[in-house]
Amino acid sequence: MVILNWNGRRWLEQFLPSVLQHSAGAQVVVADNGSQDDSLPFLRQHYPQVRTIQLPENYGFCEGYNQALSQVEATYYVLLNSDVEVTANWLSPMVNLLEKNPQIAACQPKIKSFHQRTHFEHAGAAGGFLDAYGYPFCRGRLFDTLEEDRGQYDDVRPVFWATGACLFIKSSAYWQAGGLEKRFFAHMEEIDLCWRLQNLGYQIFYQGLSTVYHVGGGTLPKANPRKTFLNFRNGAALLYKNLAKEELNKILYTRLVLDGVAAAQYLLKGQLKEVQAIYKAHRSFFADRKFWKEKRKETSIHKPTAQLTGWSQQSVVWQYFMKGKKEFRALNVPDSATLPA
């Protein structure tokens, strides 16, 4: 497993012990993304048994992992955030799922909140989905509403995307799909990768028998114009890269209009930096349209959304904000949960 670190000595000090304690038999690697703190001296002094990969600069989440994983020989990769606490026996259910099912390329465990341990965490919760206009949502998390874990998602089922906070993936599938999209830098990159994997015929799964606890916001806080820019820019690029031709314009341009509505909401709240970030995100997307067109060509197969597991044909934005549906089960998303033999 590879932990990508950037100025995260405090997270390594807090969470690396749990990883080493509960990951017997797995190689633990820390890839340092050009940190300027004392992360590497700390590791050398206290954890000399942990392999380190020193990258010369901060490549971001996406290219940082691409660079690091290219130096790791393994059948399965685990991309693990530095601010994640793992639990006893967390590895076995995940590896067994990948080993027994050749169709499954990637999977995630149950992601719960480190600070509110009875509830799910924003980044992945109990498996990711996309709504009719490409907005991400999760079982256990709709927008900012986090469900309490009452055992309602103690299952094993296919999803659209698995979180990059704790992503198990077959190394062969990772490179077949082209790895993480470098231009994304960070945010929504795992959704893009999982979408490409689905277009290649693979499945993405959630394994509810394994649990980890995630702090979240360890690199960029929740309210941050840079994060807003990346989410909106990458959201547009995600759709442009992966949608089937016959659905591309309708879904993409509806999404861009809805982004404008989000900008208006920020404006009403006086959050001008967020409005500016959305404007810059759209400007960046259209300025790089030629680049994204070339990236789209790299994936020769673009399945219609009706053929994708975990794509909901309803608007979760409408269901959540207008109808007040705050939990995943209230959406009545069709359950395609059939575990391959």
**Residue range 21-33, pLDDT digits in tens:** 999 999 999 999 9
- Considering the domain boundaries, does residue 146 fall inside one? no
Q: How far is the C-alpha of 33 from the C-alpha of 60, rounded, in Å?
A: 7
In angstroms, rounded to a whole number, what is the distance separating the alpha carbons of residues 323 and 282? Answer: 29
What pLDDT, on the 0 to 100 scale, is given for residue 338? Answer: 46
CB-based contacts of 199: which residues, under 8 Å, 6+ apart? Answer: 242, 299, 301, 302, 303
- pLDDT at position 8, please? 96
206 - beta bridge partners? 108, 157
Q: Confirm whether 127 is domain-assigned.
A: no
Q: In this structure, are residues 326 and 341 in contact, taking their beta carbons and an 8 Å threshold? A: no
Find, among 138, 123, 120, 108, the residue nearest to 329 by Cα.
138
Tokens at 249, concatenated = 């314009």
Asked whether residue 54 is domain-assigned, the answer is yes
Q: What is the CB-side half-sphere exposure of residue 320 using CA atoms within 13 A?
A: 17
The answer, yes or no, to whether residue 223 has pLDDT greater than 80, is: no
pLDDT greater than 70 at residue 122: yes
In 3D space, the residue among 56, 9, 59, 3 whose CA is nearest the CA of residue 31 turns out to be 3
CA–CA distance from 250 to each of 236, 245, 287, 317 (Å)?
13, 10, 20, 17
pLDDT at 118 over 60: yes
Listed residues 74, 92, 123: the one ending a domain: 74
Assigned domain for 24 exists:
yes
Percent of the chain with pLDDT over 70: 96
| pLDDT confidence of residue 29 | 98
Which domain, by its residues, includes 276?
225-309
Report pLDDT for 216. Answer: 87
Residues counted in the chain:
341
How many domains does the chain fold into? 2
The per-residue DSSP string of 189-224 comes to HHHHHHHHHHHTT-EEEEEEEEEEEE---SSS-SS-
87 vs 30: CA distance, rounded Å:
19
CA distance readout (Å), 30 to 13, 69, 324, 326? 12, 11, 43, 37
DSSP 118-185: TBB-TTTTT-EEE-TTS-EEETTEETTEE-B-SSTT-SEEEESB--TTEEEEEHHHHHHTTSS-GGG-
DSSP single-letter state for residue 7? S
* Domain presence at residue 20: yes
Whether 247 is covered by a domain: the verdict is yes
The Cα 246–Cα 260 span in angstroms is: 24
The predicted model gives 64-73 an average pLDDT of 98
Helix, strand, coil abundance in the chain, percent, nearest 5: 40, 20, 40
Q: Which helix (H) or strand (E) holds 111?
A: strand 104-113
In a domain, 97, yes or no: no
* Structural domain includes residue 50: yes
Cα gap 170→31, rounded to integer Å: 19
So what's the pLDDT on residue 116? 97
Question: How large a percentage of the chain has pLDDT more than 90?
Answer: 94
How confident is the prediction for the chain on average, in pLDDT? Answer: 95
Quote the longest CA-to-CA distance of the chain. Answer: 57
Specify the pLDDT at position 114.
Answer: 97
